[in-house]
Structure formats: structure tokens, C-alpha cells
Amino acid sequence: MFPVSPNYGSGCPCFPTPCAQAVLGSTSTPVPCPALPACVPPGVLPLSRRPPAWGRAARQPPGLPLALARAFSNNKILVELDESSGVATMKFKSPPVNSLSLDFLTEFCISLEKLENNRACRGVILTSAIPKIFSSGLDITEMCGKSTEHYAEFWRAVQEMWLRVYGCNMVMIAAVNGSSPAGGCLIALSCDYRIMVDNPKFSIGLNETQLGIVAPFWFKDTFVNVVGQRIAERSLQLGALHPAPEALKLGVVDELVPEEKLQERAAAVMAQWLALPDHARQITKSMMRKTVLDRLISHREEDIQHFISFTSKESIQKSLRMYMEMLRKKSG
């Protein structure tokens, strides 16, 4: 048996029986496997294992009624797919503040994977169904007073969420309709484009140092790739939460719009991005993000061990407990 290509996986149409192109060194009759595009330059990994699409959403199977919108919702995320435009919306609805719990992260990854595997979907808009909050970041209760096994499972889920969003083949747009600290900011930073509601009461940033914790290297890398080294360094050290107008000035978000225009503007920007041939845009995206993605992929277990030993320290537990206490007192 010949080894299969590292790109080969459940996203390939020939899975689980690898076709000739998926099998390295095979001499059998070649059957083109679109999951392994020959046009991907050496050293550039396809972002996800899904076959590249090019104008896919415009095609309707002949004889079938036009399926306009499909919705599925589990618990914490409402997903709506408009098959005519190829655009899905993932709306976070996990009260009170869309914190990224293990359950939320698991549902997020499953929902995104479902969309990736749906050939009708080419772009995803991430937004919130909770007024004034995009996401409050990682659920702090998942990092307090739990077992090391739990910390490992939780951190793997956080990594998985980032790898999926940052490495996603589809166009990802964050429609940030509320505050977005830490992990919430990371989700937005991992998208291709960020539109935020023009309200100075909403803020966004990686505020980890304010909790007495440290943003991991891949949070930092993602931030640097968006705003550059100097702004990232100052903002990260200060644990700054930038009000929307400041976030625009620093490049943390790409544009501000009035709240009532947010969804319309996100759809318009998405249409611009989807006007490009998918394969060219996807390969370009992969070229820009590969180094940063590879860094976590090749240090994933080490990163989990770092997280466990860091989070298990009594001093860190104390900081997190005090922070939660402060939040509870504030909320009344």
C-alpha cells in the first residue's frame, strides 16, 4: 500500500478509498481527485481539506426547486444558510454573554465543519444574537478549579476553534455587534474582515494581562498579522480593550457602521469577496496564514501542557477567582 497524500482526508470526494492522485507513488489509472488541486504550489497547504469551489453557489441542480435558506440550530449557535448566495450566518446565542465554554466551542466547530462540507456554502458571517455582546471570550469558569484532564480537553477545543476559523477556506466575516474581549476578539481577528457597530460603548481587544494571564503565542501571532508588531505589543502588554472608534484607528477592525446597517454591510462585503475565483483567493489566504497555523499545529501538545501547568498554578487560579468575583460584584 502506498502512503496517501498529507492533504487526503474526509473532505476528499474519494474518501475513504483514496483515488490515484491521493496515493503517493501509485501507478494505477489516475482518477482526478479535486480535493488535491494540482495548482497548489509546493509548500502551500490547502487551508481546509474541502475541495476548492469556484462559483459553486451559483449552480443549482437542474429540476430542483431553488432552495433559498436552510437553518439549523443546536443550542448555542443559530446557523442560517442562504443557498442562493452561498452565504451562511452563524449567530451566537448563548446567554448571558456568549462565553466560549467547552459546549459552545464544540458546537461551533461542528457547525463550521458542516458548512465546510456543504458545497453550497462559500462564505460565513459570524455575529451575535445577544444584544451588546459579540462574545465575552473564553468561559473563565472552565479554567477555574477543574481537573488537569478538563483543562486539556478545554484547551484542545480552544485550539480547534482557532485552527478551523483561521484556516478556513471559506470567506469569514465578523459582524461585531457588541463587546468582544479576549477570546471573542480572537474569533474576530481570525476572520478575513471585521465590521463593528459604531458605538464607543462596545470594545474589543486582547485583555488577558488584565486577568493576570498571558495571551498564548498564536493569539499574539494572529493579532500581529492584523495590526502589526508595535500596535500589538503595546495593546497586548496593557491588556487594552479598545472602544470601537479606537479599534478602527488601530486597524483592529476594518470599518464601523451604524447598528441597523451591520448585516446589510456584511452581506455587501461578502459579495465583493465572493466575486473572486475561490481557488485563487484560497491559495493566497493559505500563503498568508500557513506559517502561523503550522506553528500551533506542530506545537499543539506542548501548548496544551503549557496551558495546564500555567492554569494550575495557585497564583493564576487566585487571579481568575478574583476577576470572576469582580465581574459578579459588578453585575450586582
Give the gyration radius of the chain's Cα atoms: 21
* Of residues 214 and 271, the one with the C-beta less far from ligand LEDWP2DD: 214
Residue 129 touching ligand LEDWP2DD (CB under 6 A): no
186 is an active site residue: no
d(CA 209, CA 236): 7
Examine the residue annotation and report whether 207 is marked as an active-site residue of this protein.
yes
Minimum CB distance to ligand LEDWP2DD smaller for 52 or for 137: 137
Q: What angle do CA 156, 50, 116 make, to 5 degrees?
A: 65
Of 36, 138, 170, 236, the one binding ligand LEDWP2DD (CB under 6 A) is 138
Which of 139, 90, 138, 85 lies closest to 112 in space, CA to CA? 90
| Shortest distance in whole angstroms from residue 110 CB to ligand LEDWP2DD | 21
- Burial level of 313, CB count in 10 A (0-12/13-18/19+)? exposed
Q: Which of 51, 123, 167, 216 binds ligand LEDWP2DD (CB under 6 A)?
A: 216
Grid cell for residue 242: 479598545
Of 32-40, 92-100, 267-275, 277-285: span binding ligand LEDWP2DD (CB under 6 A)? 92-100
Distance CA 72, CA 65 (A): 20
12: which residues sit within 8 A by CB, 6+ positions away? 18, 19, 22, 33, 35, 36, 49, 51
Single out the catalytic residue among 45, 112, 138, 274: 138
Is the preceding omega at residue 16 within 30 degrees of 0, hence cis? yes
Q: Is 242 exposed, middle or buried (0-12, 13-18, 19+ CB in 10 A)?
A: buried
- Amino acid, single-letter form, for residue 291: T
Q: Which is nearer to ligand LEDWP2DD, 8 or 162 (CB)?
A: 162
- 182 lies in the site for ligand LEDWP2DD, by CB under 6 A: yes
With binding defined as CB under 6 A, does residue 93 bind ligand LEDWP2DD? Answer: no
| Catalytic site includes residue 138 | yes
The cell for 311 is: 492554569
Least distance (Å) from ligand LEDWP2DD to the CB of residue 327? 4
If we measure between CA atoms, which residue out of 183, 169, 203, 194 comes closest to residue 290? 169
Is 83 a catalytic site residue? Answer: no
Tell me the closest approach of the beta carbon of residue 1 to ligand LEDWP2DD, in angstroms. Answer: 40
Residues near ligand LEDWP2DD (CB under 6 A): 96-97, 99, 133, 136-141, 179, 181-183, 207-208, 211, 213-216, 306-307, 310, 324, 327-328, 330-331
Residues annotated as catalytic (active site), given as ranges? 138, 183, 207-208
